[in-house]
């Protein structure tokens, strides 16, 4: 009986203990549920905020990309302008070079001889023969050459009839020198070997002689020499001046025929230039 009473006394307590435990666990579950709900709401709120931030970052990235592209385009445009200016400068420089070369070639061509030239033969009685060909009577000689032949011997050849002077030079394949610019020649007078001839520059002495005979279009004579020069103390300088017809056979052959109206069409003096 006591055992049953004890059992009955313990039962309500156990029931109360059970219900309290159940209540406490229910409250804990409600608290945890509220906490979870709050956390979920916070997460959802943060999640809702994220798209806004991502959109702004995307806009920022797009702006940065646009600025980068703009800078790249500007740098490309700058480099393209610099390259264009450089190419234009190079083209202008080349054009100027071509025009300069053309101008020089044209000036050189204008300074060359035509089909009618002025020829002057001069030299001291005991000196060598000098030949000068000019485009005009008052222009610089385009071709001035000194022969080893004495002028007295040439005068004797011309007095006996027709005089033919042939000047020969060697052809060099690698050189493109104009025929009138060849420096050294072999000389033949009426078929006889007469030594060598050399091309000369027109110095003050030669120019003074050409200026002295400038008014003379055709003729021969003697000019007073320079008494101060011991080598020319005899004071006589022989000359002959006339117009010549120039005939160009090729780049390696030219001929000059003296034009004399009193010779019945046959030139008294002919000069041939040959490159062989």
Q: Taking the domains of the chain in order of start, what are their residue ranges?
A: 116-205+233-275
Residue 39 has pLDDT above 80, yes or no: no
Residues making up the chain, counted from first to last: 276
Beta-strand relationship, 116-124 and 128-134: antiparallel
pLDDT in tens, 159-173: 777 889 999 999 887
What gap in Å lies between CA 146 and CA 129, rounded to an integer? 6
- Measured between its terminal Cα atoms, the distance across the chain in Å is 163
pLDDT (0 to 100) of residue 209? 93
What gap in Å lies between CA 124 and CA 235, rounded to an integer? 9
DSSP string spanning 162-197?
-EEEEEEE---TT----GGG--EEEEEETTEEEEEE
Between 146 and 4, name the one with better pLDDT.
Answer: 146
Between 183 and 230, name the one with better pLDDT.
Answer: 183
What gap in Å lies between CA 85 and CA 61, rounded to an integer? 35
% residues pLDDT > 90 (the chain): 36
What gap in Å lies between CA 64 and CA 152, rounded to an integer? 98
What gap in Å lies between CA 255 and CA 65, rounded to an integer? 81
Reading the block at residue 201, the tokens are 């520059």
Mean pLDDT across the chain: 76
Contacts of 151 (CB under 8 A, 6+ apart): 121, 122, 123, 124, 125, 127, 128, 129, 238
> How far out from the chain centre does Cα 226 lie?
49
DSSP summary character for residue 180: G
- By C-alpha distance, which of 140, 123, 265, 129 is closest to 207? 140
When pLDDT is cut at 50, 70 and 90, the band that residue 212 belongs to is very high
């Amino acid at each position: 009986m006591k055992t049953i009473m004890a059992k009955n006394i313990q039962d309500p307590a156990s029931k109360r203990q059970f219900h309290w435990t159940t209540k406490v666990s229910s409250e804990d579950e409600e608290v945890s549920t509220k906490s979870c709900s709050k956390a979920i709401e916070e997460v959802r709120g943060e999640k809702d905020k994220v798209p806004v931030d991502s959109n702004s970052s995307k806009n920022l990235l797009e702006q940065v990309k646009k600025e980068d592209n703009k800078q790249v385009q500007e740098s490309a445009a700058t480099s393209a302008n610099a390259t264009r200016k450089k190419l234009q400068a190079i083209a202008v420089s080349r054009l100027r070079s071509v025009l300069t070369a053309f101008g020089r070639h044209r000036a050189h061509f204008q300074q060359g001889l035509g089909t009618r030239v002025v020829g002057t033969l001069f030299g001291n009685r005991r000196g060598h023969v000098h030949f000068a060909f000019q485009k005009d009577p008052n222009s610089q000689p385009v071709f001035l050459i000194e022969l080893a032949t004495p002028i007295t011997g040439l005068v004797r050849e011309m007095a006996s009839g027709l005089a033919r002077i042939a000047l020969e030079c060697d052809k060099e394949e690698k050189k493109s020198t104009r025929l009138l610019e060849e420096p050294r020649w072999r000389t033949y007078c009426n078929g006889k070997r007469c030594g060598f001839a050399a091309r000369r520059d027109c110095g003050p002495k030669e120019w003074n002689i050409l200026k002295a005979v400038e008014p003379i279009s055709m003729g021969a004579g003697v000019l007073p020499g320079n008494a101060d020069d011991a080598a020319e103390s005899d004071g006589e300088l022989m000359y002959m001046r006339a117009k010549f017809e120039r005939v160009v056979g090729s780049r390696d052959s030219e001929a000059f025929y003296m034009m004399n109206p009193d010779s019945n069409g046959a030139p008294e003096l002919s000069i041939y230039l040959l490159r062989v």
